[in-house]
Structure 1
């Protein structure tokens, strides 16, 4: 999975812990909060993968699909793992500034 796809999965998990929402709202929130302009072709496959892994649960509504966490413990573990990975990348990049 590419970096952008992994970020989509990480943000999706973090976004859904408090409650249920849908993909379009996630795209809007990512754009507003992080100035991250991800395409639906990046975000929706990540949602489908998380659903297939039983991390998110999909609820069909009249005109959209709403997702919520199916297993909060697994979602929390995945977010913590992603946090450590992103922190390691950040520390690596910060350390590389010492050589510039």
Structure 2
């Protein structure tokens, strides 16, 4: 590829570049407010998400508390059931031992 520099065209090219730069600067100035970073939590989406997570968080905490209560009840019931199972198993073992099996 051959690049030929035509010095007579430099002023025209320079003027076109200046126009392009001015256009880009104007476009950037218009876009600046939209492109400026917004601190977290100050935009509409963050506010909506925050309110949703606040509501969801309350539901989750209530479910966790309910699960804790149910676990405590389950632990107590399991201890009672285990004791009853052990007593039944011991009684059954005594009955089996009292009746020997002949082969």
Higher relative contact order (CA 8 A, sep 6+): 1
TM tier, shorter chain? under 0.3
- TM (normalized to structure 2)? 0.27
* Higher CA-based Rg: 2
